Amino acid sequence: MNKPLPTFALQAGRRPSPLSLQNVLLAIVVAVTCVPLSATAAADVAGTTATSTSQSEASWTSGGVSEEGREEMRQVASRYNVHVMFSEQRGSYLAGIPFTVVRLASGKEQQIVSAVSEGPLLYLKLAPGAYRIAAEVDGVWQKQQVRVGAGGSPARVSFVFRGK
């Protein structure tokens, strides 16, 4: 009934084939190369902070899901002139919120950002002017207008959605 488990020990006098040694070395190289990528991905998930790529008229960052994420957002808040928060009526914060930013200039509307906020806090750096920010939860879009000045305190916008 008790069968011995297979062992992978080398038998005396036998050398591993070069092919298997190459495969082992290749596996080690691949594993070592991927470790920093996994650590970076884990750090991104832990902080849940997303940052815009260089968009011509706006930059943004979002996050704040965890306590560490909220602290990261507090540290960068002064770099952004519009602070947006997403929550439910009952007070729960929301994450994964699609949003758009449209510049309103002399009768023309120009969408400058369309993305997803990874956390309840979204910070935008926009040129002075008038904008419409829209956010969607459960198929319902809310829109708010905001005017960004040349300096001073950041504009604050809150999107409060009805919970189910």
Q: Assess whether 71 and 128 both reside in one domain.
A: yes
What pLDDT score does 43 carry?
A: 34
Q: Assess whether 147 and 92 both reside in one domain.
A: yes
Classify residue 42: in a domain, yes or no. Answer: yes
What pLDDT score does 39 carry?
A: 29
How far apart are alpha carbons 109 and 101 in whole angstroms?
Answer: 10
Q: How many domains does the chain have?
A: 2
Range of the domain at 75: 48-161
What pLDDT score does 162 carry?
A: 86
Classify residue 1: in a domain, yes or no. Answer: no
Residue 21: pLDDT band with limits 50, 70, 90 = very low
Q: Assess whether 133 and 114 both reside in one domain.
A: yes
Helix (H) or strand (E) holding 61: strand 58-63
| C-beta neighbour count of 80 within 10 angstroms | 20
Q: CB-based contacts of 25: which residues, under 8 Å, 6+ apart?
A: none
Residues 83 and 123 sit within 8 Å (Cβ to Cβ): yes
Q: Assess whether 108 and 64 both reside in one domain.
A: yes
CA atoms 54, 59, 65, 67: torsion sign: positive
Confidence check: pLDDT of 45 > 70: no
Residues 140 and 118 sit within 8 Å (Cβ to Cβ): no
Q: Assess whether 83 and 116 both reside in one domain.
A: yes
54-113 pLDDT tens trace: 445 789 999 999 999 999 999 999 999 999 999 999 989 999 999 999 999 888 899 999
